[in-house]
Chain A
Amino acid sequence: MSNFVGKRMIRNEDPRLLTGQALFVDDVQIPGMLHAAFLRSDYPHARIRSIDTSAAARHPGVAAVFTAQDMGSFWQPGPLLVPAPHSIEGLIFNKRTQIPMAKDKVRHQGEAMAVVIAESRYVAEDALVDIVVDLEPLEAVTDLERALAPGSPLVHDDLPSNLASFVRQRKGDYEAARQQADLVISRRLVIDRGVAGALENRGVVAAWDPKQAQMTIWATTQAPIGFRNIVAAALGLSEHQVRVIAPFLGGGFGPKIMLSQPEEVLLTWATKKLGRPIKWIEDRQENFLATTQERSQIHDVEIAVTGDGRVLGLKDVFIHDTGAYNPYALTVPLNTQTHTMGPYEIPNFHTEYTVVFTNKMIVTPVRGAGRPQGVFVMERMLDAAARELKIDPVEIRRRNLIPAGAFPKAQGIIGQDFTELVYDSGNYPATLEKAVTMIGYDRFVREEQPRLRATGRSVGIGVVCFTESTGVGPYEGARITVEASGDVSLATGIGTQGQGHFTSFAQLVAEQLGVDPRRVHVVTGDTSQFHWGAGTFASRGATVAGNAINGAAGRVRAKILKLASQVLDTPEPELELVDGCVRVADIPEKFIGLGELAVLANPMRGAVKTGTEPGLEATDYFGPPFGATASGTVAMIVEVDTETMMVEIKRYVIAHDCGTVINPLIVDGQIHGGVALGIGNAYYEKLAYDESGQLLSGTLTDYLMPRATDVPRIEIGHLSTPSPLNPLGTKGVGEAGAIPTPSCFVQAVENALAGRKIEILELPLSPNRLYELLHEGQEA
């Protein structure tokens, strides 16, 4: 019986956030601090003839101006942040990682060419104007297919083509399955780019203290420890000389996992050189141009099915755009590949992708991270098959779902862990039925929809199933200490960007130690507090760090019981941990407070037995054998206004299984936010580029993020099949909402417009685009 795990606790961190008392990176003020501004290229592709910074350097208030040439040997391409999955046979991977500043040529619009460091940001930006740059514009590579055509301009001149990578994986024999199929359908699906759109832009404050020989960095990073290691290596410092603090972050959503060479790493070099702290805070325009993005792919897909709608095989050949560099290797397209089969039994699967370099911003994971594209491929093909075969869309999904008893289920291809993708647990049929029941699918289709259609209203329904590989390794760790006050401190290496770690992690500790979760003080993302770990990404915080915390709490509990047994002269099994005390189960007046016990565990004089460890403290680590697979089904009812092409989501239902839920309130919030992004990806958000590679939607007035009036009330149904891969049974949930929503949206819109010959084969849509599609369909 749990006292704290599974409870809808409101959050420990909120009072500070709600009163403006929480520290974000831009809130850091240090006396003598300088401010940086970057000169960024207006051209997506250009050769640099010269950069003259002399006038800028003379500008009053400017401390320094640096270009790539000024950096000497510190100018190095950054490290590969994720290895390529070399366990996949035949893999091609041409590594071209991000550089601190453009040296010979510019490879994307917004690439940094120079940095001004001045007394204020205002002055730094004034001085940018004084820099004289002579650029020779080059033809830009912007089209994914033309990027590979002979004679295409090259993003990297030292490569023979714009090919960044090639990966092919096969399960079964697709060609044989195709021969046996009653129906083979092929489609081309096109998905375009969007941003992560955290409300807080990126930023860094770097301060070098020469007397302590210590670098302190406050950064908007999802991976403080990796950041520290890279900075230490780049500057030739010992890792203990670099302290990275990721304070409160205003959202992450993927790009803040990046250890960007231009801004974050370069400025640590500059602060050491100038001997003064430097702050750089990205503005929104820079965020559009120079923060990593995601989603663009072109898929050529074929599905082979029987007459009763059973999938015999799927072939997906796609092109993935990695932008100008590929520092995050293949995480995004690999995720697409490994989420295409989703919760369905696909006996034969041929999947291959080609990654191309283009003159656009670098692509790295954005909440969803390749998964929405995989789901889009499978769900669109199932929809096409259902229509051809005149099978109800829910029914065709029902017929193909992996049955409840099939776990663990090896999927026959390499996954995000670079080992075979294995689904650990789940109950996909129950998840589908739950969503279908919640939305009242049968009644809507039989009664409501015909009735509304008869009055001329275009209402439609969509139902989409998905999986999400979460909680991937390698590992995380935690240290838990009972303090003399009886409060408990917990330090872990991951960063936090709003996921409620200060609460859910406290609940895990409280569960084991019988303390009030409000008295568990959590530190995340400070390398001086805990210095092992990978970071917050891939929906892994609650699963990987959570289980490390659970393990460490268990060890502290054991220490508490051992010492209390001696102090209270009672065998351990008769002791219980309640209300911050250890007490004898049947004699409530015989107890000792945890604080008092912590003091006893840390003697200041006298002798201790050999091997004694001080304090009530323990550290533990957790690394799963492979990621836990969460799953869900979403269902949506929409109404299309065929005059304005605005789409109203009238109902949104999601049945979700993330195993053991630590805090349902937080899980609900995570789902809501993901859904909102998914709605943006479906209908509002598009990074539109012209043919020359100029970004056309680089402001929030052109690039539309969903508002309160665009996001419906979201109804959530929780299912729980605990993961056998970790003691808590948790799976991740951070990206769940974003993954299926675009696919469900287009299915529902298509259904609303049924009879008007429209098939949606692209993302994102927009009212304009929907109008065009509808009219193309009518002309056809």
Chain B
Amino acid sequence: MSDLVKIAVAVNGARHECSVEPRLLLVDFLRHELGLTGTHVGCEHGVCGTCTILFDGEPMRSCLIFAVQANGHEIRTVEGLGTIENLHPLQQAFWEAHAAQCGFCTPGMLMTLVPFVENQAHPPEEEIREALAGNLCRCTGYQHIVDAVKLAAQRLHQSEAPLGDGEVQP
């Protein structure tokens, strides 16, 4: 058995110090060590995008890196977006547009798209589809997801309200 390595990771604004095996995947660390099971595993080879999280603000597949590589970095998972009572505008738009069916790929979709919608006021459909192209969904045919992104982008950039009502404050 490998020696354990100490890491310190900020996840959704909370600092975690843990000892992990060097080979432990980041997604397994998040799901099984921290209990953040909102991040799902679809393929374990970096194709389906289901396990996407934000790594220092950038979407990243958490099945392709080790937990030790997250040492000293900031991670945001779906649990760090909105809450059931106070959804993030993108989550709200997913709800209203019926962008989730089984909901398994949804957390990865959301984490991929949060930076995209926050940075794009009126993304054309082609660009939305490009942004989505690294995340597989087998239920929706993507159309309602595209609609949700349009809706969220419109709302986020229409008002002067701070981004992401539902964000967890650090």
Decide yes or no whether B143 CB sits under 8 A from chain A: yes
**Contact present for A199 and B84 (CB under 8 Å):** no
**Contact present for B48 and A700 (CB under 8 Å):** yes
Stretch in contact with the other chain, from B65-73, B116-124, B130-138, B154-162: B130-138
**Contact present for A676 and B100 (CB under 8 Å):** no
Decide yes or no whether A42 CB sits under 8 A from chain B: no
**Contact present for A676 and B138 (CB under 8 Å):** yes
What is the distance, in angstroms, from B37's C-beta to the closest C-beta of chain A?
Answer: 4
Decide yes or no whether A673 CB sits under 8 A from chain B: yes
A708-B132 contact in complex given A19-B79, A19-B83, A700-B47, C-beta closer than 8 Å:
yes
**Which single member of A27, A665, A674, A737 contacts B37 (CB below 8 Å)?**
A27
**Contact present for B139 and A498 (CB under 8 Å):** yes
**Contact present for B110 and A18 (CB under 8 Å):** yes
A19-B45 contact in complex given A61-B1, A200-B40, A200-B104, C-beta closer than 8 Å:
no
Decide yes or no whether A583 CB sits under 8 A from chain B: no
Decide yes or no whether A15 CB sits under 8 A from chain B: yes
**Contact present for A21 and B42 (CB under 8 Å):** no
**Contact present for A19 and B101 (CB under 8 Å):** no
Decide yes or no whether A10 CB sits under 8 A from chain B: yes
A199-B143 contact in complex given A19-B81, A29-B32, A61-B1, C-beta closer than 8 Å:
no
Decide yes or no whether B98 CB sits under 8 A from chain A: yes
Decide yes or no whether A473 CB sits under 8 A from chain B: no
How far, in angstroms, from A18 to B1 measured CA to CA in the complex? Answer: 37
Task: Please give me the residue from chain B that is nearest to A197 by CB atom.
Answer: B138
**Contact present for B102 and A199 (CB under 8 Å):** yes
**Which single member of B21, B41, B79, B146 contacts A26 (CB below 8 Å)?**
B41
What is the distance, in angstroms, from A736's C-beta to the closest C-beta of chain B?
Answer: 12
Hey, which chain B residues are within 8 Å of A198, CB to CB? 102, 104, 138
Which A residues between 192 and 210 are near B, CB-CB below 8 angstroms? 196-201
Hey, which chain B residues are within 8 Å of A665, CB to CB? 98
Decide yes or no whether B7 CB sits under 8 A from chain A: no
Q: A181-199, CB under 8 A of B: which get 1 and which 0?
A: 0000000000000001111
**Contact present for B43 and A700 (CB under 8 Å):** yes
Which B residues between 101 and 115 are near A, CB-CB below 8 angstroms? 101-107, 110
Which A residues between 665 and 696 are near B, CB-CB below 8 angstroms? 665-666, 668-669, 671-677
Decide yes or no whether B91 CB sits under 8 A from chain A: yes
**Contact present for B98 and A251 (CB under 8 Å):** no
Q: Which of B39, B50, B102 is most buried by chain A, counting CB atoms within 10 A of its CB?
A: B102
Which B residues between 22 and 42 are near A, CB-CB below 8 angstroms? 23-24, 31-32, 35-42
Stretch in contact with the other chain, from A411-419, A480-488, A514-522, A709-717: A709-717
Q: Which of B48, B96, B142 is most buried by chain A, counting CB atoms within 10 A of its CB?
A: B142
How far, in angstroms, from A668 to B139 measured CA to CA in the complex? Answer: 11
**Contact present for A14 and B129 (CB under 8 Å):** no
**Contact present for B95 and A29 (CB under 8 Å):** no
A672-B37 contact in complex given A18-B110, A199-B42, A500-B101, C-beta closer than 8 Å:
no
Which A residues between 702 and 731 are near B, CB-CB below 8 angstroms? 705, 707-709, 711, 713-714
Decide yes or no whether A20 CB sits under 8 A from chain B: yes
A669-B42 contact in complex given A16-B84, A26-B37, A197-B138, C-beta closer than 8 Å:
no
**Which single member of A60, A500, A699 contacts B1 (CB below 8 Å)?**
A60
Hey, which chain B residues are within 8 Å of A250, CB to CB? 40, 42, 102-105
**Contact present for A669 and B140 (CB under 8 Å):** yes
How far, in angstroms, from A672 to B147 measured CA to CA in the complex? Answer: 13
A18-B103 contact in complex given A673-B138, A700-B48, A708-B132, C-beta closer than 8 Å:
yes
Sorting the interface of chain A by its residue count into under 10, 10 to 19, 20 to 34 or 35 or more gives 35 or more
Sorting the interface of chain B by its residue count into under 10, 10 to 19, 20 to 34 or 35 or more gives 35 or more
**Contact present for A673 and B83 (CB under 8 Å):** no
**Contact present for A19 and B91 (CB under 8 Å):** yes
Hey, which chain A residues are within 8 Å of B58, CB to CB? none
**Contact present for A14 and B138 (CB under 8 Å):** no
What is the distance, in angstroms, from A687's C-beta to the closest C-beta of chain B?
Answer: 16
**Which single member of B41, B91, B104, B143 contacts A251 (CB below 8 Å)?**
B104
How far, in angstroms, from A111 to B142 measured CA to CA in the complex? Answer: 34
**Contact present for B136 and A701 (CB under 8 Å):** no
Decide yes or no whether A22 CB sits under 8 A from chain B: yes
What is the distance, in angstroms, from B56's C-beta to the closest C-beta of chain A?
Answer: 20
Q: Which of B83, B91, B106, B130 is most buried by chain A, counting CB atoms within 10 A of its CB?
A: B106
Hey, which chain B residues are within 8 Å of A201, CB to CB? 42
**Contact present for A11 and B143 (CB under 8 Å):** no
Hey, which chain B residues are within 8 Å of A701, CB to CB? 45, 47
A672-B48 contact in complex given A11-B98, A200-B42, A250-B102, C-beta closer than 8 Å:
no
**Which single member of B21, B23, B104 contacts A199 (CB below 8 Å)?**
B104
How far, in angstroms, from A711 to B139 measured CA to CA in the complex? Answer: 12
A10-B95 contact in complex given A498-B101, A669-B144, C-beta closer than 8 Å:
yes
Which A residues between 1 and 59 are near B, CB-CB below 8 angstroms? 10-11, 13-22, 24, 26-27, 29
Decide yes or no whether B77 CB sits under 8 A from chain A: yes
Closest CB pairs A-B (n = 7): A20-B38, A250-B104, A498-B102, A17-B103, A672-B141, A498-B101, A676-B141
Q: A15-B84, A676-B138, A713-B125 are known contacts; what are 16 more A-B pairs with Cβ within 8 Å? A: A11-B100, A13-B103, A15-B95, A17-B100, A19-B81, A21-B84, A26-B31, A197-B138, A199-B48, A248-B103, A249-B102, A674-B141, A700-B48, A707-B142, A708-B142, A737-B141
7 contacts between A and B (CB under 8 A): A14-B95, A20-B39, A26-B41, A199-B136, A700-B48, A707-B133, A713-B146
